[in-house]
Structures are given as structure tokens and as C-alpha cells.
A and B are shown apart, each in its own frame.
Chain A
Amino acid sequence: MGRDLPTEDPLVRMQRDLRRALQKKPEEIKWGMVIDIAKCIGCHACTISCVAENKLPPGVVYRVVVEEEIGSFPNVRRRFIPRPCLHCQNPPCTKVCPVSATWKNNQGVVVVDYSLCIGCRYCLVACPYSARTSDFAEWYTAGTPDLAGKLVGRKVAANGYEVRPAAEYGQQWPDRGKGSPIGNARKCHFCMHRVKVGMLPACVTTCIGRATIFGDRTDQDSLVAEMLGSPRIFRLKEDLGTQPAVYYLK
């Protein structure tokens, strides 16, 4: 019974697990995620927090929530399946990159080097989960009327927020409109820039149902490892042999 009734917020435990993981050598860590779809209420907070954290432009999305309707009236249910990049351990997207701009790093996270990517979009086509998107240089402020002066208008609005780049991969990228990641393939990176400094990914911290669990899969004391032992565990399109590091609980 004690096991069924949580005595602390899973976030607190995940935070503790994260701190412990960061004590290890980087190559000894293997990040993983477990998403409990029985707990997901389909609020899309993870999607929105991801967009905000990574300052994703229109048309670029890292984490979507797929909604499914099961059964027929009156026996109907809705099911929500959040889908970040699944960080496959046998990723079909990295092998197809002609210039080695994307790879699985030593912590099992599939990353993209924006400064190397030539924008051929082969990885987008190769991902069986459609988890990659391309940055087509869209702007939220496009079409906003501009006015002379420094207080109102499109340029002011854009300069105030949209032009400033996110700290993806912990790097300083040029202002938006001045090169990468425009023209690049973009994808979820487990918020590595946050994780590196001891913060959980944005989608994890904003999940109101605590349905998204993140941590070091190799740490047997971690919550994520505990969840991996559940009989409810499954992975998306497992038959493809991609071995995702993102698991689901039925």
C-alpha cells in the first residue's frame, strides 16, 4: 500500500535522481523517459513548455500529444500519447545524415549540430515517428504591422523576444534570422542544456499529472528505472527495431 500512495512528489525524487546521475562520468549515464499514458490528461502543457523553453518558431514542434479515441458510444475512452523524440538506441535518422551532423551521444541522446547540418531533410524522412521538423524561417510576428519608433510594431516585438535565440545544446546561437537553426533539422534533445545544470527537461517539470518520468536508466535506484520494470511498459513501433529510450506505460 505504501508503494501505491506516493509520499513525495515524483518531481522531487526525479530531481534527486538527476543530481545523483550528474555525479557519474557522463558516458556512464544513459538518459531515458517513461510516459505513463494512464496519467496523461492531454493538457498539452508539455508541448507548450517545450515551445517556450526552446523558443520554437511556428511549424517547429518537438513534443506533440497524439490523441486517440477508443471504442464506440457509450463505451468510449480518450487516450493521450505524448511523443517527444524517442531517442532511439538504434536511430534510423542518424545513419542517413550525409555529413555526420546528427548522432547518438555517449549518454544515449540523439543530437543535431546546427552548425554542420546542410538541411537536406533526409533525417526527417527517415524518422518513423515524424519526430523531426525543419525550421522554415517562420516568424510569429510575421504580418504584424510595423511602425516607426522604438516602442511598438513588428521589429520591436520581434527584437524583444523572438529574435533572441534559445540556449539549445548549451550553446549561444546567432539571433533568429541570421543563420542556423533556420534551414536545419530540429528535434527534442531532452533539454540537455537544462539537464547539464541539474534541471529536469521542461516537459517533465510542467507535467501536471506527473505522467512524464525522466532519469538515468542505468541507475537502478532511480524512478525511471523503477518504472521500466513495470509490466505495463511498451515502446512505440517496437517491431521496427529502433529501440527507443522513451518508454510508455499502458
Chain B
Amino acid sequence: MNDYRIYKTLMTLAIAGLIIGSYGVISVLIWGKHATALGSYVPWGLWVAVYLLFLGLTAGAFLITILTYVFRVKIFKPVGPLAAFTVLVVIISEVIMISFDLGHFSRIYRFLISPGFYSMIFWMVVFTNAMIIIYLLECYFLLRERLIGWSQEEGRPGRTFYGWLSFGKTSYTRTDRENDDRWVRWLSIISLPVGLIFYGVNGAIFAILLNRPIWNGALTPLLFIITALLSGGALITFLIYIFKIDDTMVHYLGRVVRFLMVTFLFLEALQFFVGYSTGVIIERASLEIIAFGPYWWVFWIVHLLIGSFIPLALLMAFPDDARSVAWACALIILCFIAVRLNFVIPDQAVYKLEGLENTFYHWRLRTIEYFPNLTEWLTSLWVFSLGLLGFLLGTRWLPLVAAGKGEEEHV
């Protein structure tokens, strides 16, 4: 990152987030799911929404790596390593987030011992791991030349560390470069179907469920892909601006984000139109919870006003102003949690048997009352901060930008 002040501010935020968020993490480690506001009729809450947010944030960077290394689109080459690293950090954050949601994390090994091949969550785990392995290797092969170079530079801070990362290799030949390029290309080619299935499987987790009117709709898988590309595209555009890599690229990606935003809003409007028109009671009830429920402001103010219309106005009014585009993208990212919450919770918030709400009272058997508690927010903050810290350290100490363009100076 060129501007050390931004780096320092973000590092401070990340460390503060880790310290504050540790209250949530410790609560979960001690009391488990008891510390959450989740219940049996709304068993998936904020953490699943944050998980989906992370999932979406990887999509833009994933697309950039595919365009750069599979389709060889030259304009994106300078951001290729940064994009690959972004995918890696965000997927790892995603895995950490969803791990908190498990009732018995210590039994995670059961995925290997007694896999449920019909379960979409099993395949989610398989493809998430595949993505982590692919992007770990891709990052390594993209950065190896610089890592070896830095390990040989007299006086470079962290020289020994780079030596370890280079596995003791001291020279880098033309043949090595050709081999690494070949590896990167092949890994990217493999990542294309793996990544598409990865996103598809995550959508299918929701889409295959019976009696879930919002999730189990024909529009859902398409909406899932568009939302992922929109939030991920906004993230990578914002990062390219922050790293001051190339303003032309920011303008170009800003237009892509604008197109995705319009498409997404159109699909969302269709979802409401179809839902209301068909008149299925539980579907209408779910949609009404989104638009007129107790958290109506999440939809109208956070999602539509701040997260959609203001960014869209900026993207339309100033498409060639990198700063405005970056601001628009930042707003989209910050408000995208509203989209994810409105996807995860309203469907669960409608009782699936009429009269169920009056059968047996306990607050964990309520639906509409669910609102994430402090533990859930703080745990999410901790994971965000951990991801941010990992990302900042990576961009500071790894040749992510340098590998694409120019020289990176350590402070």
C-alpha cells in the first residue's frame, strides 16, 4: 500500500477489531451457541449472512484471476497476484466464520470419516478446500520469483522469512519462470470449473430446500451469482483504487459494477413482483418481513438507499472519476451485509406450520424476534478484523503489487 497512513489506520482498526471482537469469540468458546440469539426456527443468523458476504467478496477477485491467467486479458495483469491473494484471504475468513456456527467444531473430522455425499454442505466443504489449495499454490507460483529475489537482497527486512517461503531456493532462472507461469495458468484453468461449482454449491445449499419460498425459487441461483459478482467486483475495484494501481482499470471496473448493480436491482424487483403476484402466503409473508417487518430500515435505508441508489448515482454521474467510483464501491461493500441478512433471515422468520408460534413458548422457538446479539456481532467483527489484518500484512510483506508492477518498498 503506497500511503503508509492508510495502512497504519487500517492496521489500527484491525487490531482494535480483534481486541474488541475477542469478547465475542471467548463467549462462543466458553458457552457455545448458548451465547447467541439463534433459535430452532431461525437456526442460521448473522454468521451465515457474513459467511455469504465473504463468499461474494471472493467472486470479483476470482473473476480477475480467471480473466488474467485463463483468458490472458492484459489490462488486469498488474492486479493478478493481488486478486489471487484476496481470494485466498477472504475464503479463509469465510471458513473461520462458518466454523463458529458449528455446534461441535471438534467433530469436523467427521467430514472425512462419514461424509454425506448427498449434502450440499459436504460439497461446499470439498470445494472450499479445493479453492484454498488452488489459490495457495497460485499465490506461491505468482510470487516465487520475487520471494527468491527478496531473500537474496542484502538489508531487506524479513529476508530470512522470504528464504523460508522460497524453500531455500537462491536463484531463479528463465526456465523457472516458464514453469511457474505454466503452473499458474493450469491452476487458473482448474480453478474456473472448481470456482463455478464452489459458488453454485453454496447457492444450492439454499435452493434445494423444500418449503423455503425465498430460497427455493428459480431466481435464487442467478441472484446468487450476480450478488457475488457485484460485491466481489466492488471490492476489487476499491482495492485497485486504494493501491493506486491504475485509474483506467478503476473506471473500467466501475462500469462493470454499475451494470451488475442495475442487473441485481432488476432481479430483486422481479423477485418481489413474482412473489407478490403468485400470492403464496408464506412467500408474501417473507417478502413483507423484508420490506415492512421490524427491520424494514435494513432493506430501505441500508440496502436500497445507501448501498444501492447512492453508489449507482455516483457510478452514473462520475464514471471517470476514480475517487467517486471507489466511494461507490466502498458503500456497496459496507452495505452488502444487509443483502445477505435479507436473504438468510426472512425466509426462516415465517413459521412453516400455521399456528406453530402458539404451541410452545420459548424465546428460542420464535422467529421474527431474532436479531443478532452482541456476541454474534463481535465474533463477526473479530473475523473481519482477522481477515483485514491478514490482508494488510500480506500486502505489506509479500510482493503482491510488486509482482505485478514496479517495485515495492518496505517501510
Interface residues, chain A, with chain B CB atoms under 8 Å away:
47, 58-61, 64-68, 81, 83, 92, 95-101, 116-122, 124-126, 128-130, 132-134, 136-138, 180, 182-184, 236-237, 240, 242
Establish whether residues B355 and A116, one from each chain, have CB atoms under 8 Å apart when the complex forms.
Answer: no
Q: How far is the CA of A121 from the CA of B351 in the complex (A)?
A: 17
Task: Other than A98-B115, A101-B114, A136-B364, give 20 A-B pairs with Cβ distance below 8 A.
Answer: A59-B364, A61-B362, A66-B354, A96-B208, A98-B125, A99-B114, A99-B115, A99-B122, A116-B114, A117-B103, A117-B104, A117-B107, A118-B103, A118-B108, A120-B101, A126-B209, A129-B353, A130-B351, A136-B39, A240-B211
Query: With A and B bound together, what is the CA distance between A30 and B119 in angstroms?
Result: 26
CB distance from A76 to the nearest CB of B (A): 15
Question: Do residues B119 and A242 form an inter-chain contact, with CB atoms below 8 A?
Answer: no
Judge whether A128 and B103 touch: CB under 8 Å: no
Known contacts: A59-B362, A83-B353, A122-B121. The answer to whether A98 contacts B111 by CB under 8 A is yes
Q: Is the CB of A137 within 8 A of B119?
A: no
Q: Contact mask B336-377 → A, CB, 8 Å, 1/0?
A: 000000000000100111111011101111000000000000
Interface residue from A47, A97, A128, A132 paired with B116 (Cβ < 8 Å): A97
The answer, among A47, A134, A180, for a CB contact under 8 Å with B33, is: A134
- Whether the Cβ atoms of B348 and A137 lie closer than 8 Å is no
CA distance A34 to B318 in the complex (A): 67
A100 interface neighbour in B116, B352, B358, Cβ under 8 Å: B116
Q: Evaluate contact between A66 and B359: CB separation under 8 angstroms.
A: yes
Interface residues of B in 29-46 (CB under 8 A from A): 31-34, 36, 38-41, 43-44
CB nearest to B117 among chain A residues: A100
Contacts of B101 in A (CB 8 A): 120-121
**In the bound complex, how far is the Cα of B39 from the Cα of A12, in angstroms?**
39
Beta-carbon contact of A118 and B107 below 8 Å: yes
A sample of 5 cross-chain residue pairs with beta-carbon separation below 8 angstroms, ordered by A number, consists of A66-B355, A98-B115, A121-B44, A134-B40, A138-B362
A-B CB proximity, top 4 nearest:
A119-B103, A183-B103, A128-B211, A59-B364
Query: Closest CB-CB distance, A58 to chain B, in whole Å?
Result: 5
CB distance from B98 to the nearest CB of A (A): 9
Given A65-B359, A66-B355, A128-B34 contact (CB < 8 Å):
no
A98 touches B119 (CB 8 A): yes
Residues of B within 8 A of A116 (CB): 107, 110, 114
**Which residues of B1-58 are within 8 A (CB) of A?**
31-34, 36, 38-41, 43-44
Can you name the residue of chain A whose Cβ is closest to the Cβ of B215?
A125
- In the bound complex, residues from chain A placing their C-beta under 8 Å from that of B36 are 136
Complex: A110 Cα to B351 Cα, angstroms: 22
A166 CB to closest chain B CB (Å) equals 18
CB pair A183 B32 closer than 8 Å:
yes
Most chain B CB neighbours (cut-off 10 Å) among A120, A125, A183: A125
Q: Which residues of A contact B125 (CB under 8 A)?
A: 98
Considering residues A92, A136, A242, which has the most beta carbons from chain B within 10 angstroms of its beta carbon?
A: A136
A67–B210 CB distance below 8 A: no
Contact B108 A136 (CB under 8 A): no
Contact with A along B60-96 (1 / 0, CB 8 A): 0000000000000000000000000000000000000
Q: Which A residue sits closest to B98, measured CB to CB?
A: A120
- In the complex, residue of chain A having the shortest beta-carbon distance to the beta carbon of B206: A125
Closest CB in chain A relative to B127 CB, distance in Å: 13
A237–B353 Cα distance when bound, in Å, is 10
**B266 contacts A by Cβ under 8 Å:** no
Tally of A-B Cβ pairs under 8 angstroms: 153
Q: Which of A47, A117, A183, A184 has the most CB of B within 10 A?
A: A183
A120 near B110: Cβ-Cβ < 8 Å:
no
Residues of A within 8 A of B122 (CB): 98-99
A183 B104 Cβ-Cβ under 8 A? yes
* A130 adjacent to B103 (CB under 8 Å): no
In the complex, what's the smallest C-beta–C-beta distance from B232 to chain A, in angstroms?
A: 25
| Pair A96/B119 contact, Cβ less than 8 Å | yes
B274 within 8 A of A: no
Report the separation of the CA atoms of residues A199 and B101 in the bound assembly, to the nearest whole angstrom.
38
Please determine whether A61 and B365 come into contact, CB atoms closer than 8 angstroms: yes
| B120: interface (CB < 8 Å) | yes
Chain A residues within 8 Å of B115, by CB: 98-100
Taken together as a complex, chains A and B put the C-alpha atoms of A58 and B40 apart, in Å, by 11
Interchain CB contact (< 8 A) of B102 among A61, A92, A120, A136:
A120
Contact A237 B211 (CB under 8 A): yes
Docked CA distance A152–B271 (Å): 58
Q: Is the CB of A99 within 8 A of B107?
A: yes
Contact B110 A67 (CB under 8 A): no
- Nearest Cβ distance between residue B2 and chain A, in whole angstroms? 43
Distance in angstroms between the alpha carbons of A96 and B121 in the assembled complex? 7
Roughly how many angstroms separate A248 CA and B115 CA in the complex, as a whole number? 35
Let me know if A66 and B356 touch, CB within 8 A.
yes
Contacting pair A61 B360 (CB below 8 A): yes
Interchain CB contact under 8 A, B103 and A97:
no
A65 to B352, CA, bound (A): 14
Decide: A99 and B363 in contact? CB cutoff 8 A: no
Report Cα–Cα, A130/B34, bound state, in Å. Answer: 20
B34 pairs with A122, CB closer than 8 A: no
Chain A residue contacts of B114, Cβ below 8 A = 99-101, 116
Option from B111, B119, B355 in Cβ contact (under 8 Å) with A95: B119
A139 to chain B, nearest CB (A): 9
Q: How far is the CA of A95 from the CA of B210 in the complex (A)?
A: 12
CA distance A132 to B208 in the complex (A): 18
- Known contacts A117-B103, A118-B103, A125-B348; A98 and B121 CB within 8 A of each other: yes
